[in-house]
Amino acid sequence: MTITMKKPKSTIFIPSPSLLTVLTEDLLLRVLDNLIDSSHRKAWRLVCKCFLRLESLHRKALRVFRHDSLPNLLRRYRLLELLDLSVCPRVDDGTIAFSFGAEPGGFCWTRRLTKLVLSRACGLRSSGLEVVVKSCPSLQEIDLSYCLGLGDREASALSRATGLRDLKLVKCLGVTDVGLAKIAIGCTKLERLSLKWCLEITDLGIELLSKKSTGLRSLDISYLKVTNNSLHSISYLRKLESLSVVGCSFVDDDGLLFLRNRNPHLQSIDVSRCENVTLSGLISVVEGHEESLLQLGAGYCCSEFAAPFLNQLKELRNLKSIRIDGARVDDFSLGTIGANCKHLVEVGLSKCAGVTDGGIAELVVGHANLKVLDLTCCHLITDASLSAISAYCTKLVCLKLESCDLITQKGLEQLGSSCSLLEELDLTDCSGVTDMGLKCLSTCSELLYLKLGLCVNISDKGLQHVASKCTKLRELDLYRCTGIGDDGLAAVSTGCKKLKKLNLSYCMEVSDRGLKYISNLSDLQDLEMRRLLKISSEGLMAIAVGCKSLSELDIKRCYNIDDVGLLALAQYACNLRQINLSYCPVSDAGLFMAMRNLKCLQDAKLVHLAHVSLEGYELALRVSCGRLKKLKLVSTLKDLLSSNLLQILKAQGCKIRWMEKALILV
């Protein structure tokens, strides 16, 4: 008998619809609105092609790190409003012409661009700026700071950007009064202008600017060689709200007198380091702006602040910020400032002689809204000052206490219990800080920036307390903290995942094991580890592989790092922009590979590389000369390197600093 087996019925599985198919593009774009962290946005892009496309439509701002990726990025992101090329090497006229030129079909991504950052683009000239102006009709802000090749021709090209409202020309040394006049005539809508360190600008240029750019609201002429005549011209800018004349040594009280009854909307003025300004000039400013002035900067210009000026402060009914760094003060003067300025949010007393516990107590009483307090190098203050600050300033966000040696665990305990909103704390060179003090501070869970350099009485145990609770830390400075070792770094690597900047220089107990812990910090961008004698190329290799975001690295005097470590950097550290290899035992081959493969490298310190020959220097610099903007070399190479190479580096905008240093291995 034959037995027939029935086939089992096959079960058909119908997949349930994905949640992503239910969500509309509008809802997904709303989700993107809430993804602020760059790592979260990166994870979003990797989900699928749909998410990648939506992110490209959503992104309005882009910062480019690599020159070779620029064309693809600009093809992907079509709706940009802000483009930052400040850290991108080799930005010159050719790059601009290729990237900003019109595309087939007439569409160009630049038409929506409102803000462009081109600072340090040393190869940029007038033809490149003409392309920018022509292709960016909506351009309102442009930053050309430290573009050392910019002169009057470039200013003339820029003057055609008629919609420009914000212009930064910091240290554009070639711009003269002629170029400034063209900008003033062409850019009629200009509201904010920075001319800091533009040393060729004189009183004549400022006079022309003041006559033509009457809509200016913010002006920075710091360190210019201008006189009182410029302030006389500026006094006619009726809409001016912010004026910075820091370091203008030819300006004095007579110049400030011009401002007394003019500039009715002036909210901020900074005359710091104006050596010829006295209290009389400051009183002139105060008398004319009792209602409007919100910020007053007067650091390092007056040796002391006498009663006439302090009493005048009570007329500044809305003053929120005052900086008198470097002056001699006493309890009475600080008490008068506190009593007369009821709405202070920021007080700067850095390097002020005479600051005592009594003065701080008088200053802070009643100032519940104080958020920033700078007491750097106020050597006389003790825990009593921290007690007063903790009692009255519970909204404090930034506190600087560098070199305040008399502070101990007791003061830090009060600070930790009352100032829970602290985001920035500087305890550099405070020898009274101990592990128990750090335990007390660890309750400040909002800390983003913590400086503990030269705190020789802290150890891994104290760092573990900080790392366990201060999980939002972005910057940590442990310079010369000799008690810190690998175990402390293990705690940092697990607790402070968002760390971007770390200084381990001269932490002599740190070894390769510690660097392997640090390699887990994927967001780390800036790492300093000078003279760590226990680390080798093995540890550096771990850093290169793990820290993908690393852009600045200092391994000066790390005598056990050789070509193997450099080859790892060359292969994995593709975003590295700045490196210090001085005194490292690398050879011609290692230096050549690093300088050739690090495509983003712009700043290299190569002092006393004893195992690198003259030919090695020549080859390494030639292969990277198109990217380098800064270079530090020992002065003996100045007459040995070929003149042709030095001319090429100069033509590419590279600034070479020649160091007069003998080879000393310490």
Q: Say whether pLDDT at 102 is over 80.
A: no
Q: Say whether pLDDT at 330 is over 60.
A: yes
Does residue 284 belong to any structural domain of this protein? no
> Which pLDDT belongs to residue 15?
55
- What tokens were used for 113? 């661009």
Q: How confident is the model at residue 106 (pLDDT cuts 50, 70, 90)?
A: very low
Does residue 475 belong to any structural domain of this protein? no
> Which pLDDT belongs to residue 9?
55
User: If you count them, how many residues does the chain have?
Assistant: 666
Q: Are 649 and 626 in contact (CB under 8 A)?
A: no
Does residue 132 belong to any structural domain of this protein? yes
Place of tokens 């920033």: 372
Q: CA–CA separation, 471 vs 432, rounded Å?
A: 24
Per DSSP, the three-state class of 40 is: helix
Burial of 281 (0-12, 13-18, 19+ CB in 10 A): buried
Q: Pick left, alpha or beta for residue 314 (phi over 0 → left; psi -120 to 50 → alpha; otherwise beta).
A: alpha
Q: Give pLDDT tens digits for 168-180.
A: 999 999 999 999 9
Distance of CA 523 to the CA centre of its chain: 16
HSE-up of residue 528 (Cα within 13 Å, Cβ side) = 14
Average pLDDT rounded to a whole number, residues 421-425: 98
Q: Say whether pLDDT at 39 is over 80.
A: no
> Which pLDDT belongs to residue 4?
54
Average pLDDT rounded to a whole number, residues 10-18: 54
DSSP 8-class letter at 10: P
Q: How confident is the model at residue 54 (pLDDT cuts 50, 70, 90)?
A: confident
Q: How confident is the model at residue 269 (pLDDT cuts 50, 70, 90)?
A: very high
Does residue 177 belong to any structural domain of this protein? yes
Helix (H), strand (E) at residue 632: strand 630-634
Distance of CA 492 to the CA centre of its chain: 23
List the alpha helices (DSSP H) in 563-613.
563-572, 588-597
Nearest Cα to 125, choosing from 101, 145, 96, 100? Answer: 96
Q: Say whether pLDDT at 89 is over 50.
A: yes
> Which pLDDT belongs to residue 518?
98
Cα distances from 540 to residues 356, 460, 524, 528, 547, in angstroms, run 46, 21, 14, 12, 10
Q: Say whether pLDDT at 344 is over 80.
A: yes
Q: Are 485 and 461 in contact (CB under 8 A)?
A: no
**For residue 604, what are the β-bridge partners?**
579, 631
| CB atoms closer than 10 angstroms to residue 639 | 7
Q: CA–CA separation, 608 vs 664, rounded Å?
A: 9
54-63, 381-390, 415-424, 550-559, range with the lowest pLDDT: 54-63
> Which pLDDT belongs to residue 662?
74
> Which pLDDT belongs to residue 73?
87
Does residue 145 belong to any structural domain of this protein? yes
> Which pLDDT belongs to residue 626?
86
Nearest Cα to 478, choosing from 507, 510, 500, 439? Answer: 507
Q: Say whether pLDDT at 43 is over 90.
A: no
Q: Pick left, alpha or beta for residue 105 (phi over 0 → left; psi -120 to 50 → alpha; otherwise beta).
A: left
Q: Are 136 and 110 in contact (CB under 8 A)?
A: yes
Q: Say whether pLDDT at 16 is over 80.
A: no
Q: Are 444 and 420 in contact (CB under 8 A)?
A: yes
| CB atoms closer than 10 angstroms to residue 614 | 12
Q: C-alpha angle with apex 379: 378 to 384, nearest 5 degrees?
A: 85
Nearest Cα to 527, choosing from 546, 512, 543? Answer: 543
Give the range of the structural domain holding residue 76, as residue numbers without chain letter. Answer: 57-216
Per DSSP, the three-state class of 184 is: helix
> Which pLDDT belongs to residue 5?
52
Q: Give pLDDT tens digits for 445-500.
A: 999 999 999 999 999 999 999 999 999 999 999 999 999 999 999 999 999 999 99
Q: Say whether pLDDT at 439 is over 70.
A: yes
- What tokens were used for 264? 């009715």
- What tokens were used for 308? 């006439």
Q: Give pLDDT tens digits for 502-526.
A: 999 999 999 999 999 999 999 999 9
Average pLDDT, the chain: 93
Cβ-Cβ contacts under 8 Å for 148 (sequence gap 6 or more): 122, 171, 172, 173, 174, 653, 655
Number of domains in the chain: 1
Q: How confident is the model at residue 8 (pLDDT cuts 50, 70, 90)?
A: low
- What tokens were used for 78? 């079509």
Q: CA–CA separation, 291 vs 318, rounded Å?
A: 6
Q: How confident is the model at residue 36 (pLDDT cuts 50, 70, 90)?
A: confident
Average pLDDT rounded to a whole number, residues 588-594: 97
Q: Give pLDDT tens digits for 283-325.
A: 999 988 999 999 999 999 998 998 899 999 998 989 999 999 9
- What tokens were used for 361? 């107590």
> Which pLDDT belongs to residue 1?
47
Q: How confident is the model at residue 103 (pLDDT cuts 50, 70, 90)?
A: low
**Whole-model pTM over 0.85:** yes
Does residue 315 belong to any structural domain of this protein? no
> Which pLDDT belongs to residue 31?
83
Average pLDDT rounded to a whole number, residues 49-71: 84
Taking each helix axis from N to C end, the angle separating 357-364 and 383-392, rounded to the nearest 10 degrees, works out to 0
Does residue 183 belong to any structural domain of this protein? yes
Q: Give pLDDT tens digits for 136-184.
A: 999 999 999 999 889 999 999 999 999 999 999 999 999 999 999 999 9
Q: How confident is the model at residue 218 (pLDDT cuts 50, 70, 90)?
A: very high
The domain that holds 165 is classified in CATH as 3.80.10.10
Does residue 104 belong to any structural domain of this protein? yes
Average pLDDT rounded to a whole number, residues 385-405: 97
- What tokens were used for 49? 């092609």
